């Protein structure tokens, strides 16, 4: 069995900095990580490989330094890594990203065997759209299984897969055919650390680097900015409210009790209907 | 089970480990390097000043690629009281030379780069891999390490312990002691981000020029310790450290000291409006020469902070670490090329190299400094700064008091505080520093 | 939007003429999401927003209802009118009984191609996110996820604003030269519009080209969530939340206490969840719940953009923070610069007295 896992290198967003003057992202020195959601998909892929045999190929599209994330995926236990990198890909939106990834997956299929399952993360923490997975599925004409909380059955003879899928109000149990695309729900498994053998192998492994041409992409107008129907026109800091919060005057109200009373007065003065509503609520109506 | 054997395993990818790995790998040795952090430098802390000379000896053209922040053209020493500082500045345009002598660096970026250079030379680096046990054979010779990953033991002819100040591996194997509270300082540091233009305006810099402030005085509340402010490209590192034993005795914490330091009227305007994005705490070995453990044995050597090679007086550590790593690498390579055993007798070559270098010479020279700073802390860090400040204020303030009165006040204050002990202290300090 | 950088003036201003084939794309559509016969409230919120867009553009607002031929579908259509739709496209087929990607994305794509809307809005739910990605890719058009604000600008294109890059920034995204312009919006981000009982509209039926025999994915079972599992955070009238300013899990009890006294729901900022101090379904913000209470009290929360977008719909925001410069004071209505750990117990007690049965009698009398 061959499984492809799409992972993305993202800035460790808790640490992102914004330039106070130009409002641009200051990426310098911001550490990068594998998109945390992708790790659940990677782990699930490794479990299936361990159980059914076969290989796991990790794929990312990004700048050359994204190779670090691929190597980390190898350390965790993936068998092969492909980096899709080319200046033509710069500025891709989700549509252009899914195009490039789909092409690369086709090429991976030609080179290393057609994948039975493609995994993507539920969403990224930087783009945060959850669109690339479904996009890749559509472009490759794969059946699509998103928000999967468990893979409960896989039959390679029969080419069938049974999964549990989180929906708004419950869990759907779906059965469909391979090949398919799966995005895993966070928390559905615990990612492994990788054995010392994997770490050694990863440290020495080659990361296959493909440019657009290598990936079999002839029409580069479908990539990057040119292939992106959406355009970011404006980036801005959220405007403050016209006036800042009215502050309770601590020179007047000194003890916590005083402050609390003043606060409640201020609330009810701001929204006169609140007192009635809250009285009912507090009484349990 | 891994049956592969390496020429050397290096524990740690800090300055010492990277220097050792680079030195050996570039000479064609088969080197495995283990780093417990997510990537080299992810857990490492330094002010941090990098001394170019010692790195040049390892990678001569490092300036072309290494992630350097600013080259230093100005050094300030501040003697602080709660409301004042008396300062000495040294600034010279000569430091704007082609090959500047000192740089500020950010460890998370620098260590990663340095480790990559070793990898480019063929060293194999495993990150997020902690060495948990030194494996010794029946005769006590180190033959490899066990890691926290599942799988077997990694074997090598020699293990280079460059694991930093905590050095659990060496301590566990009984090769060295865990650092005593009186021999390590605990330093805390914050990175304050500001636009480069603002930093340049506040410190009177342009382009890649940088400045450093070292501060001592009442900020350490009578304990032996120093504060520092270093300029990076887009941030200012602010930190302070004191001996761990002092913190315990004085029931105060480094973060309290740092808070007070940041609020000091001389410091606050420098960092005003900044965004704090990183807080780190780290130990610094300050035992000096007398606390250096055995540095070599059968199948092992110790370098850098793990061996206590740190010159607290001059706040140098990175250069000693790099140099000791390089010397360990060179000694091991010598032994290997002679096809000799990595036993204690042969590895004593490393110690000889160390003794012949500035590393041991400097440490030996300052060997009495740690004790002196400790016993005289009250005077050096509380009394004297206040006396100096009083003298300066008397000197500078023009308020109609006759000059002669002011002078008398200054001397009276000195005599009352310390009598003629001041002179003795000065002499002792000078002797230890010399 | 995976790796989208703000385009330099160049491309953003490079707006070409809309290609001929897209000129006839007109009207605003809202996908009416149904699960097990129940319309997701986000659909009504979107109708409210879609109404505004349609009025500005001078076009019609349509609801799109997909389902199997049952009373539920008719009901969904009637509700759509009540919340502002001028017409409803009704797509009925047995294969559409429960959500599956294959038949839904085919039906919706065919409908778009047949009736050509200029704007198509969907909820950012597990169902609609699954659907929107497929449909947009098939149509090769742009899709902007998790918008917090929708508008039409002077040249009548959709300006979709969303938080970006996990930083403290928002960005406005356009879909140039393609139609429809698609966007998803998370539940509770938009205000629920007023329901007008008996408001009528046209029903336009659409017969999808579907056949169960061609649909590969089968639903074996559906296990509905037990109601009790869910917190009512998103729909509560009063919400009290705590953040890292509370410093540890124990102090979070102060928030629970105040909430209990008020009969309110409690919530928290993301780091509290990451620390494991509070369960994930209590997180408020971009990656948690969006709330629209009458009163929101935030204790020890800095007010980062990701938190802000989740609470901005509150009628009254009250912030307790020790830092007078905390960003939360930029969008709170009432603030107090003090230690929440000391203040919360006092506030709880003061409320207890103020809202006691005694004062209720007074109110009733
Ligand atoms: C606040 C502060 C400011 C400083 N400022 C300066 C300055 O301005 N200039 C200067 O020259 N020096 C400065 N120093 C000192 C300098 O940082 C150290 O001397 C230097 O980092 C020592 O290098 P090292 O390689 O020995 O140890 P480290 O840099 O600590 O590296 C040790 C490495 O080993 C890894 N490791 C540890 N145990 C294991 C294990 N079991 N398995 C695998 N990996 C392991 C660690 O993760 C780490 O990467 C400062 C120190 C501090 C704390
Ligand atoms: C992709 C992404 C998605 C995210 N999604 C969300 C989300 O959905 N929801 C969310 O909340 N966050 C989210 N975040 C995180 C968000 O950026 C902030 O990090 C987070 O909201 C900060 O939480 P906080 O305000 O509790 O903590 P902090 O930022 O640490 O702020 C603590 C505040 O408490 C104050 N304080 C300290 N002590 C006291 C005291 N004793 N009394 C009163 N005040 C005190 C401080 O002044 C400070 O303002 C997201 C981030 C990313 C990158
Ligand atoms: N540049 C990329 N390279 C590889 N995979 C990606 C990339 N961008 C997105 N993905 C995949 O698509 C998923 C959803 O991304 P997003 O739509 O950006 O939220 C991610 O979790 C990844 O698995």
pLDDT digits (tens, 9 = 90+) for B5-34: 999 999 999 999 999 999 999 999 999 999
Chain B, 329-388: which have a CB under 8 Å from a chain A CB?
none
**CATH code where residue B210 lies:** 3.30.9.90
pLDDT of residue C365: 36
Domain co-membership, B17 together with B131:
yes
pLDDT of residue A19: 60
Number of domains in chain B: 3
Domain co-membership, B279 together with B297:
no
User: Is B151 part of the contact surface with chain A (CB cutoff 8 Å)?
Assistant: yes
Q: Which of B263, B285, B307 is the last residue of a domain?
A: B285
pLDDT of residue C360: 47
Assigned domain for B239 exists: yes
Domain co-membership, B122 together with B236:
no
Q: Cβ contact (<8 Å) for A15 and B108?
A: no
Comparing A262 with B433, the larger pLDDT belongs to A262
Assigned domain for B97 exists: no
Q: Which residue has the tokens 């992202």?
A: A25
Region B332-353: mean pLDDT is 96
**Exposed e or buried b per residue across B381-393, where buried means at least 16 C-beta atoms within 10 angstroms of its C-beta:** bbbbbbbbbbbbb
Domain co-membership, B134 together with B21:
yes
Assigned domain for B428 exists: yes
The CA B206 to ligand 1 mean position distance, Å, reads: 30
Assigned domain for B76 exists: no
Distance of CA A184 to the CA centre of its chain: 10
pLDDT of residue A28: 61
Q: How far is the alpha carbon of B243 from chain A, nearest alpha carbon, in Å?
A: 30
pLDDT of residue C1: 40
**Exposed, middle or buried: residue A112 (CB in 10 Å: 0-12, 13-18, 19+)?**
middle
pLDDT tens digits, residue range A122-143?
999 888 889 999 999 999 999 9
Domain co-membership, B187 together with B298:
no
The DSSP H or E segment spanning B424 is helix B421-433
Q: How far is the alpha carbon of B268 from chain A, nearest alpha carbon, in Å?
A: 19
Domain ranges within chain A, ordered by starting residue: 2-222, 244-285
Which residues, given as ranges, of chain C have pLDDT below 50?
A: 1-13, 229, 360-365
Contact present, B113 and B13 (Cβ < 8 Å):
no
Would you say the CB of residue A57 lies under 6 angstroms from ligand 3? Answer: no
Closest ligand 1 atom number to CA of residue B324: 26
For residue C2, which ligand has an atom nearest its CA? 3
If you take atom 30 of ligand 2, which residue's CA is the nearest one? C244
Q: How far is the alpha carbon of B146 from chain A, nearest alpha carbon, in Å?
A: 10
Whole-structure pTM value: 0.85
pLDDT of residue B243: 87
Would you say the CB of residue A142 lies under 6 angstroms from ligand 3? Answer: no
pLDDT tens digits, residue range B419-432?
656 667 766 666 66
Chain C, 292-351: which have a CB under 8 Å from a chain A CB?
294-295, 305, 308, 315-319, 324, 328-338, 342-343, 345-347, 349-351
Would you say the CB of residue C322 lies under 6 angstroms from ligand 2? Answer: yes
Assigned domain for B95 exists: no
Comparing B2 with A111, the larger pLDDT belongs to A111
Assigned domain for B19 exists: yes
d(CA C102, CA C208): 12
Residues near A99 by Cβ (< 8 Å), separated by ≥ 6? A135, A139, A222, A223, A227
Q: Which of B310, B331, B365 is the last residue of a domain?
A: B365
pLDDT of residue B385: 81
Comparing C215 with A243, the larger pLDDT belongs to C215
Q: Cβ contact (<8 Å) for C343 and A256?
A: yes
The ipTM (two decimal places) reads: 0.83
The whole domain housing B241 covers 182-285
Q: Which of B313, B347, B365 is the last residue of a domain?
A: B365
Q: How many CB atoms lie within 10 A of CB C110?
A: 17
pLDDT of residue A25: 62
pLDDT of residue C8: 41
- Under the banding of pLDDT at 50, 70 and 90, the label for residue A183 is very high
Domain co-membership, B109 together with B54:
yes
Assigned domain for B13 exists: yes
**Chains touching A, CB cut-off 8 Å, 3+ pairs:** B, C
Domain co-membership, B158 together with B20:
yes
pLDDT of residue B431: 65
If you take atom 15 of ligand 2, which residue's CA is the nearest one? C270
Report the share of chain B in percent with pLDDT over 90: 60
- Under the banding of pLDDT at 50, 70 and 90, the label for residue A256 is very high
- Under the banding of pLDDT at 50, 70 and 90, the label for residue B152 is confident
Region A146-159: mean pLDDT is 96
CATH of A2-222, one of 3.40.50.620, 3.10.180.10, 1.20.1530.20, 3.40.30.10: 3.40.50.620
- Under the banding of pLDDT at 50, 70 and 90, the label for residue A24 is low
Q: What is the mean pLDDT of chain B?
A: 90
Assigned domain for B96 exists: no
Q: Cβ contact (<8 Å) for B277 and A15?
A: yes
If you take atom 47 of ligand 2, which residue's CA is the nearest one? C323
Domain co-membership, B62 together with B170:
yes
pLDDT of residue C5: 47
pLDDT of residue C96: 96
Domain co-membership, B41 together with B165:
yes
pLDDT tens digits, residue range B347-369?
999 999 999 999 999 999 888 87
- Range name among B127-141, B386-400, C259-273 with the lowest pLDDT average: B386-400
Domain co-membership, B360 together with B213:
no
Helix axis angle for B318-337 and B344-356, nearest 10°, is: 140
pLDDT of residue B1: 64
The CA A174 to ligand 3 mean position distance, Å, reads: 24
d(CA C73, CA C32): 10
pLDDT of residue C4: 46
Comparing B412 with C5, the larger pLDDT belongs to B412
- Under the banding of pLDDT at 50, 70 and 90, the label for residue A27 is low
Domain co-membership, B380 together with B343:
no
- Range name among A197-201, B113-117, B404-408, C48-52 with the lowest pLDDT average: B404-408
Please give the biggest Cα pair distance in chain A: 78
For C7, name the nearest residue in chain A, comparing CA atoms only: A232
């Amino acid at each position: 069995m061959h499984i492809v896992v799409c992972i993305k290198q993202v800035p460790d967003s808790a640490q992102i900095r914004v330039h106070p003057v130009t409002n641009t992202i200051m990426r310098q020195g911001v550490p990068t990580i594998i998109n945390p959601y992708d790790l659940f998909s990677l782990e699930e892929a490794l479990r299936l490989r361990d159980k059914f045999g076969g290989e796991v190929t990790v794929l990312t599209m990004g700048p050359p330094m994204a190779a670090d994330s691929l190597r980390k995926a190898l350390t965790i236990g993936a068998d092969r890594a492909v980096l899709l990198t080319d200046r033509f890909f710069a500025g891709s939106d989700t549509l252009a990203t899914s195009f490039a990834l789909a092409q690369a997956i086709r090429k991976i299929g030609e080179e290393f065997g057609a994948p039975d399952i493609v995994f993507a993360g539920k969403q990224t923490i930087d783009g945060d759209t959850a669109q690339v997975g479904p996009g890749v599925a559509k472009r490759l004409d794969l059946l699509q299984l998103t928000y999967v909380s468990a893979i409960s059955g896989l039959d390679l003879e029969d080419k069938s897969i049974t999964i549990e899928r989180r929906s708004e109000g419950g869990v759907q149990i779906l059965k469909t055919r391979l090949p398919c695309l799966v995005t895993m729900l966070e928390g559905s498994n615990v990612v492994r650390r990788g054995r010392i053998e994997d770490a050694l192998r990863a440290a020495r492994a080659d990361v296959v680097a493909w440019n657009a041409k290598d990936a079999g992409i002839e029409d580069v107008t479908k990539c990057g900015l040119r292939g992106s129907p959406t355009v970011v026109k404006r980036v801005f800091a959220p405007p403050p409210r016209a006036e800042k919060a009215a502050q309770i005057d601590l020179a007047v109200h000194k003890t916590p009790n005083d402050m609390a009373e003043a606060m409640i007065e201020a609330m009810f003065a701001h929204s006169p209907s609140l007192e009635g509503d809250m009285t009912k609520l507090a009484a349990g109506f | 089970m891994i049956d592969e054997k390496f020429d050397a395993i290096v524990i740690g990818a800090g300055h010492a480990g990277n220097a050792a790995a680079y030195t050996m790998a570039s000479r064609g040795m088969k080197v495995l390097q283990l780093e417990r952090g997510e990537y080299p430098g992810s857990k490492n802390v330094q002010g941090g000043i990098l001394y170019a000379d010692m790195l040049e000896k390892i990678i001569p053209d490092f300036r072309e690629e290494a992630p350097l922040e600013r080259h230093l053209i100005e050094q300030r020493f501040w003697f602080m009281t709660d409301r004042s500082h008396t300062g000495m500045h040294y600034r010279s345009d000569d430091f704007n030379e082609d090959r500047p002598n000192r740089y500020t660096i950010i460890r998370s970026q620098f260590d990663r780069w340095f480790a990559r250079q070793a990898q480019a030379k063929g060293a194999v680096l495993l990150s997020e891999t902690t060495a948990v046990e030194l494996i010794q054979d029946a005769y006590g010779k180190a033959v490899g390490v066990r890691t926290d990953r599942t799988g077997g033991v990694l074997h090598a002819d020699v293990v280079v312990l460059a694991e930093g100040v905590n050095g659990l591996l060496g301590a566990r194997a009984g090769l060295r002691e865990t650092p005593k509270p009186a021999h390590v300082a605990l330093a805390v540091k914050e990175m304050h981000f500001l636009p480069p233009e603002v930093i340049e305006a506040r410190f009177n810099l342009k382009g890649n020029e940088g400045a450093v402030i070292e501060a001592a005085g009442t900020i350490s509340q009578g304990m032996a310790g120093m504060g520092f402010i270093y300029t990076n490209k887009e941030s200012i590192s602010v930190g302070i450290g004191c001996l761990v034993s002092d913190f315990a005795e004085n029931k105060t914490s480094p973060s309290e000291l740092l808070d007070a330091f940041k609020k000091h009227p001389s410091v606050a305007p420098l960092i005003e409006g900044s965004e704090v994005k990183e807080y780190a705490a780290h130990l610094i070995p300050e035992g000096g020469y007398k606390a250096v453990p055995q540095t070599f044995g059968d199948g092992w050597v110790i370098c850098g902070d793990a061996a206590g090679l740190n010159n607290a007086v001059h706040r140098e550590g990175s250069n000693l670490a790099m140099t000791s790593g390089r010397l360990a690498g060179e000694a091991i390579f010598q032994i290997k090329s002679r096809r000799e055993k990595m036993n204690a007798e042969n590895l004593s070559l490393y110690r000889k190299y160390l003794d012949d270098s500035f590393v041991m010479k400097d440490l030996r020279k300052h060997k009495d400094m740690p004790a002196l700073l400790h016993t005289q802390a009250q005077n050096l860090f509380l009394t004297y700064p206040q006396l100096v400040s009083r003298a300066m204020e008397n000197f500078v303030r023009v308020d109609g008091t006759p000059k002669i009165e002011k002078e008398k006040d200054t001397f009276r204050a000195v005599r009352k505080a310390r009598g003629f002990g001041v002179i003795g202290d000065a002499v002792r300090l000078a002797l230890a520093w010399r | 939007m995976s790796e989208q950088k703000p385009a330099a003036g160049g491309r953003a201003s490079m707006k070409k003429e809309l290609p001929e084939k897209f000129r006839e794309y007109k009207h605003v559509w809202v996908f009416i999401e149904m699960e097990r016969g129940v319309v997701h409230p986000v659909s009504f919120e979107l109708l409210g927003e879609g109404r505004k867009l349609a009025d500005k553009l001078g076009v019609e607002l349509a609801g799109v209802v997909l389902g199997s031929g049952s009373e539920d579908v008719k009901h969904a259509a009637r509700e759509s009118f009540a919340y502002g739709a001028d017409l409803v496209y009704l797509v009925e087929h047995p294969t559409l009984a429960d959500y599956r990607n294959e038949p839904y994305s085919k039906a919706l794509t065919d409908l778009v191609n047949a009736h050509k809307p200029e704007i198509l809005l969907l909820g950012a739910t597990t169902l609609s996110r699954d659907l929107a990605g497929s449909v947009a890719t098939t149509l090769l058009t742009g899709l902007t996820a998790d918008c917090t604000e929708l508008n039409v600008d002077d040249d009548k294109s959709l300006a979709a604003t969303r938080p970006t890059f996990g930083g403290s920034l928002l960005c406005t995204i356009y879909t140039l030269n393609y139609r429809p312009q698609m966007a998803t919006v998370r539940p509770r981000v938009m205000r629920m519009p007023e329901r007008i009982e008996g408001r009528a509209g046209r029903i336009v039926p659409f017969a999808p080209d579907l056949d169960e025999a061609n649909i590969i994915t089968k639903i074996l079972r559906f296990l509905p969530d037990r109601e009790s599992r869910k917190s009512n955070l998103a729909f509560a009238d009063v919400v009290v939340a705590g953040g890292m300013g509370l410093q540890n899990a124990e102090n979070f009890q102060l928030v629970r206490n105040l909430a209990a006294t008020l009969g309110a729901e409690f919530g928290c900022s993301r780091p509290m969840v990451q620390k494991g101090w509070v369960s994930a379904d209590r997180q408020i913000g971009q990656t948690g719940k969006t709330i629209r209470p009458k009163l929101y009290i935030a204790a020890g929360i800095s007010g980062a953009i990701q938190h802000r977008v989740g609470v901005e719909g509150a009628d009254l925001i009250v912030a307790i923070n020790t830092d007078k410069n905390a960003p939360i004071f930029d969008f709170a209505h009432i603030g107090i610069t003090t230690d929440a750990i000391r203040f919360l117990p006092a506030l709880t007690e003061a409320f207890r007295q103020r809202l006691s049965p005694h004062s209720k009698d007074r109110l009733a009398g």
